[in-house]
Structure 1
Amino acid sequence: MTENVHELKLDKKQTNDNMKEKSGWVSWLFFIISIAAVFFIFRFVIGITIINGDSMSPTISDGDVFLTSDMFYTPERNDIVIFRDEDGYDVIKRIIGLPNETIAIQNGVVFVDGEPIKSEFTTGIPNDMPERTVDSGSYFLIGDNRTPGESLDSRNSDIGSISKEKIKGQAILSLLPFGLMTIIPK
């Protein structure tokens, strides 16, 4: 009888040891999957961008911090987007022209396919620009600070239209300044 009790205690101890070992492996597996999920989310789904410069003033200021999204994003007019320039820097601008549309600036007014667009979120008066057609699969991006020399954007012939592949994602939420915490206006 004492042998059976002793065997029962040994079996119980082995069972507890096996459960602890399995629990340890499950915890490590959960940890690794969690780290991979966080990496995936911040690499492919959302990002944090710190603004450098005043090309998007008055909408966005130098030093503002934004949450961006690049998963399942389809660019639309007036979206504020982040794109990668030729030097590898992230740049933030507003989409004004869609593929195959014509853009012109006359007397400080931006025209898309001959129609003036609303500009309540802008500052400054841009220089005139002759009519241009946006390349297929590309977008015409311009800063909200339209004062000549304040925004290096699609108005510059060296930059021109920005292909969809260069657009990293859309700015969706202001994180700093804290009081702002609003969705980006369109």
Structure 2
Amino acid sequence: MSEEALDPQPRASAVKKKSGLWGWIRFVLLLAVVMIVLHNLTGLTRVSGHSMDPTLQNGSVLLVNKLSLFFGAPEYGDVVIVKDDRLGYTIVKRIIAVGGDRVEIRDGVTYVNGVPLAELYTYGTSEDMAELTVGMDDLFVAGDNRTPGASLDSRDPKLGTVHMSDIKGYALMSLIPFHKISKPLKL
């Protein structure tokens, strides 16, 4: 009988190395799956500019929810991340109206379907805009800073309404500075 057959140590050592390696492989695979899931379901984005003042400031870092894109339709007041190929970059805006709604701005007041919006989260006074009917798969979005020229949004013919497929996520909260994003009052 050989010495290796009598000594179980080399075999136990090989089994231990194999199980340790398999543990690391499982850990790396699990970490990769978690990273892929987090990257596709959540994200971070930085606000650039003053179009969302006073709600979001230049440089604010937002936690973005991408999961909700698969389970529900956008709602009034949601702050969304829009990626429009015409622009070549993303913008952060608030949903003012959805498909089928009529939007008008008169004397600085935004009307949706003839009802004035109570927009306590805005800054500045918007220029008037003739009534517009939003297409069925489109959204009317606007920055919270309504000062003329401060925000590229659906009031500007260069952007107009945005298609729902251009929405890349919903802003859940501002992480830097840390605060919740206000929603419109329900009247």
Same-fold status (TM-score > 0.5): yes
| DSSP-derived class of the 1:59 partner | coil
Q: Which residue identity does 1:105 align to in structure 2?
A: I
How many residues align? The count is 179
Deviations 1:117-167 (A, max 9, x none): 111000111011010001111110000000111011001122111111000
**SS at the partner of 1:72?**
helix
Write the distance in 1 (CA, Å) between the matches of 2:116 and 2:132.
15
Identity %, equivalent residues: 35
In 2, Cα distance between equivalents of 1:32 and 1:80: 34
Tell me which residue corresponds to 1:154.
154
Work out which of the residue numbers 7, 11, 18 in structure 1 matches 2:5. 7
Cα distance, 1:32 vs structure 2: 2.7
1:31 maps to 2:20: no
Partner of 2:88: 88
> Is 1:112 matched with 2:112?
yes
1:72 equivalenced with 2:61 (yes/no): no
Aligned to 1:127: 127
Amino acid at match of 1:72: S
Checking the alignment, whether the CA contact within 8 Å between 2:125 and 2:146 is kept in structure 1 is yes
TM-score normalised to structure 2 length = 0.89
Of 142-151 and 79-88, more deviation after overlay is shown by 79-88
Q: What is the letter of the counterpart of residue 31 of structure 2?
A: S
Deviates more, 1:127-136 or 1:66-75: 66-75
Q: Which runs of 4+ in 1 moved over 6 A?
A: none
Rg bigger for which structure? 1
Cα displacement string for residues 57-115 of structure 1 (whole angstroms, at most 9, x for unaligned residues): 01111011111111133311001100012232010000000111000000010000000
**What secondary structure does 1:111 align onto?**
strand
Superposed displacement of residue 38, structure 1:
0.9
Q: Is the 8 A contact 2:68 2:169 kept in 1?
A: no
1:158-169 pair list within 5 angstroms? 158-169=158-169
RMSD: 1.6
Local SS of the residue matching 1:152: coil
What CA distance in whole angstroms lies between the structure 1 residues aligned with 2:59 and 2:159?
A: 24
**Corresponding residue for 2:180?**
183
Partner residue, 1:61:
57
In the aligned structure 1, how far is the partner of 2:44 from the partner of 2:169? Answer: 11
How much has 1:37 moved relative to structure 2?
Answer: 2.0
* TM-score normalised according to structure 1 size: 0.90
Residues 16-27 of structure 1 correspond to what in structure 2 (within 5 A)? 16-27=13-24
Alignment gaps of 5+ in structure 1: none
